[in-house]
Structure 1
Amino acid sequence: MPQTKMSIFEYAIRSEEEGAAFYSNAARSFGKGPEKSFLEGLAAEEVKHADTFRKLKEKVEKKGVGELFGSAEVSDYLDAVVRGGLFESARQAVEGGATPKSPEEIYAVAVRAERSSILLYGELARQAKHKATRKIFEELEREEKNHLVRIVALRADHDTMFAIERFGCVC
């Protein structure tokens, strides 16, 4: 069966939509409280990221991908990353790829996916030809790094041993 080609932007949109769905579903596993609000906030941010990529995709359709990226290697890199999807690949952090239910499982999937997003957007920023496009990817990379930091803090709030190992104390 031939492999379906997917543009950088279709992949990024899909990944951000998967992230929004993941965080929305994870939020449902918590009652009212800061964890639920936090995860709902992450879902909303992922929706904004998908919208950013839709706008970039429109720009590319008008100008052509060669106008935005300096190297065809972006496609090769993306092909290596796309095969499983950021959040789908990250689900392997949970035994049997099941839907995460505990804060620890949510953390494991979210950390893997956010790290992959950081690497992807960093690479896209490096490959971007134009400063404006590069800035968009750099901003997305910064936002994903912020997600990662906040997710680690969520885990520390729910896991005393993790907090001690990670920060040297229960803060």
Structure 2
Amino acid sequence: MNIFEFAMKMELDGKAYYEKLAEGTSESGLKAIFTKLAADEQKHYDTIVTLKTDATCSMPDTIILNEAKNLFENLLKNKDITDSLKKSLDGYQHARKIEADSVRFYEDLAQKETNPELGQIFTRIAGEEKEHYNILDNLYDFVLEPQYFLAWREFSNIKEL
């Protein structure tokens, strides 16, 4: 399996996982977050498919972080829902691990890439995967201990899992 095929499989697996999380929740805000994460993974997949034949392709920007912040604010207004969400903590933690692994994978690809255009695309995908991790990290912390959750946090580094 070459690097592009591996990346494509990784993105499709991530998309399927987010679709599964979306189907498994009745909370509309979470469903929207997971659906948007799945759409981003599809976008990454489509970009990688194009990169196989065209190293100069571009990738549309993501807006998921801002959208997730807005959806997350609605979750904060109703902290009573956290009891029903706690059953999914393992799923959120697994999704964080998937995103952390993706960040490392794409950062490594970008660092090793000799074609600067490909390297830039891999760096952008890594950045979007960091945003996904940030969303999941905030969600995990909120569900785990809502009484201590004060506000959305943005992380520049991914902690070691």
TM-score when scaled to structure 2? 0.70
- 2:142 is matched with which residue: 157, 165, 168? 157
| Secondary structure of 2:53 counterpart | helix
What are the superposed Cα offsets for residues 39-77 of structure 1, whole Å, 9 maximum, x if unpaired? 1110000000000110111237xxxxxxxxxxxxxxxxx
> Residue 113 of structure 1 corresponds to which residue in structure 2?
98
Q: Deviations over 1:82-119 (max 9, x none)?
A: xxxxxxxxxxxxxxxxxxx9321111211111111011
Residues 103 and 158, structure 1, Cα contact 8 Å, conserved in 2: no
Q: State yes or no: 1:36 paired with 2:56.
A: no
The residue identity in structure 2 corresponding to 1:19 is G
Q: 2:20 aligns with which of 5, 18, 25?
A: 25
Q: CA RMSD in A?
A: 1.7
Contact 1:103 1:155 in 2 (8 A): no
Distance in 2 between residues matched to 1:106 and 1:124, nearest whole Å: 27
Please say which structure displays the higher CA radius of gyration. 1
Distance in 2 of aligned mates of 1:7 and 1:59: 16
Instruction: Indicate which of 11, 35, 43 corresponds to 1:16.
Output: 11
Q: Specify the code of the residue in structure 2 equivalent to 1:111.
A: R
Matched residues in 1 for 2:33 and 2:91: separation?
A: 13
Q: For 1:109 and 1:119, locate their aligned partners in 2 and report how far apart those are by CA, in whole Å.
A: 16
Greater relative contact order, per chain length (Cα 8 Å cut-off, separation 6+): 2
Of the three residues 123, 143, 149, the one matched with 1:170 is 149
**How do residues 62-101 of structure 1 correspond to structure 2 at under 5 angstroms?**
none
Percent of aligned pairs with the same amino acid? 30
Aligned amino acid, residue 43 of structure 1: A
Offset of residue 155 of structure 1: 1.2
- 2:46 match: 51
**2:128 matched to 1:143?**
yes
Specify the code of the residue in structure 1 equivalent to 2:97.
Answer: R
Q: Structure 2 counterpart of 1:8, which letter? A: I
Could you tell me which amino acid in structure 1 is paired with residue 127 of structure 2? Answer: R
Unmatched segments (≥5 aa) in structure 2: 56-85, 151-161
Shift of 1:32: 4.0
The runs of 5 or more residues in structure 1 that have no matched partner are 1-5, 61-100
Mapped to 1, the partners of 2:36 and 2:91 lie a distance apart of 15
Q: How many residues align?
A: 120
Q: Distance in 1 between matches of 2:140 and 2:108?
A: 28
